[in-house]
Amino acid sequence: MTKKSGLAVSFEFFPPKAGDAEVAFWNTLRRLEPMQPQFVSVTYGAGGTTQDRTLDTVRRIVAETSLAPVAHLTCVGASKDDVNAVVRKFWDAGVRHILALRGDPPAGVGTRFQPHPEGYRNAADLVRGIREIADFQVSVSAYPEKHPESVSIEEDLAFLADKADHGATHAITQFFFHNAFFLRLRDRIAARGINIKLLPGILPVTNFAKVQEFAGKCGAHIPPEMVKRFSGLDSEPETRNLVAAMVAAEQVQALEREGVDAFHFYTLNRADLVYAICRMLGVEAVGQERAA
């Protein structure tokens, strides 16, 4: 069986803690599995703080589901030997795709990235290191509205070109709400001849106050009309979810009209909203959903 829509989707999760959160995580994963995502990515805490949970999660995804896991990996606060050891563990676990990120310092350890004296210098250097260890597919990050530490979009493009030159094949963007920023980035990548596939990162709104906080930290602009739509709805979850599904579906459909055919959803480990959005977009669940 195949999906009705030609739309390709992928989902991001963070590794759960033990207990109820872990049960909820696997319920979410199995709820979304019938959507046949291209891949599901699992995040990696600042400084490798969730290293063991990330590894355990992707190992279980390989063993127990039909999904293709992508393991996030950062190089902040770690030597090359330590990072390389994690890369080899991912390979041994059956992971064949890594999202290589420079990473940010853990809370309380400064605000700017400082390479480990014996570590990888940046994300491009990390991409090169991963590719030397095994034949991984490697994806990286991109920023439609400029990385908070970058001087300009041009500097971001230079970093992205360097990552592509070292072997990255895909770039997943930070979330955004103005499609013009993504389309501008796509055009600039094409104009510079950077050989990389750009995937838009879509963040459905589960809590608008939190989204505003996230946006403030990463420099993402929120349209005034979006603020108006969500005003007062944090205490009305059912209405908020209806509006959130509509807003995200409208954003994706507008990008589809511009020729975009693959989308990466930041799930925040919640299934229902993303599931509803995918169904609104014509992504058809295939087969029977697994019992939790």
Closest-CA residue to 264 (of 38, 16, 35, 42): 38
Cβ(76)–Cβ(46) below 8 Å: yes
Q: Which residue numbers are catalytic?
A: 12
Whole-prediction pTM value?
0.92
Radius of gyration of the chain (CA): 19
Cβ(182)–Cβ(173) below 8 Å: yes
β-partners of residue 201 are 175, 264
Q: Could you tell me how many helices (H) and strands (E) the chain has, helices first? A: 10, 8
Distance of CA 150 to the CA centre of its chain: 20
What are the structural domain ranges in the chain?
8-280
Neighbours of 254 (CB within 10 A): 12
Q: How buried is 117 (Cβ within 10 angstroms: 0-12 exposed, 13-18 middle, 19+ buried)?
A: exposed
Q: Which amino acid is located at 47 in the chain?
A: G
What pLDDT does 109 receive?
47
What pLDDT does 118 receive?
87
Distance CA 292, CA 261 (A): 30
* Candidate CATH numbers 2.30.40.10, 3.20.20.220, 1.10.287.470, 3.40.50.980; the one for domain 8-280: 3.20.20.220
Closest-CA residue to 102 (of 118, 125, 80): 125
DSSP 8-state code for residue 105:
P
Handedness of CA 253, 255, 163, 107 (dihedral sign): negative
What pLDDT does 143 receive?
95
User: Per-residue b/e over 157-166, b at no fewer than 16 CB within 10 Å?
Assistant: bebbbbbbeb
One digit per residue, pLDDT tens: the chain, 292 residues? Answer: 334 457 999 999 999 999 999 999 999 999 999 999 999 999 997 666 788 999 999 999 999 999 999 999 999 888 999 999 999 999 999 999 999 998 876 654 445 667 778 889 999 999 999 999 999 999 999 999 988 888 889 999 999 999 999 999 999 999 999 999 999 999 999 999 999 999 999 999 999 999 999 999 888 999 999 999 999 998 899 999 999 999 999 999 999 999 999 999 999 999 999 999 999 999 988 864 444 4
Distance CA 188, CA 58 (A): 34
What pLDDT does 47 receive?
66
Q: How buried is 65 (Cβ within 10 angstroms: 0-12 exposed, 13-18 middle, 19+ buried)?
A: middle
DSSP 8-state code for residue 156:
H
What pLDDT does 116 receive?
77
Q: For residue 112, what are the contacts with CB-CB under 8 A and spacing of at least 6?
A: 105, 149
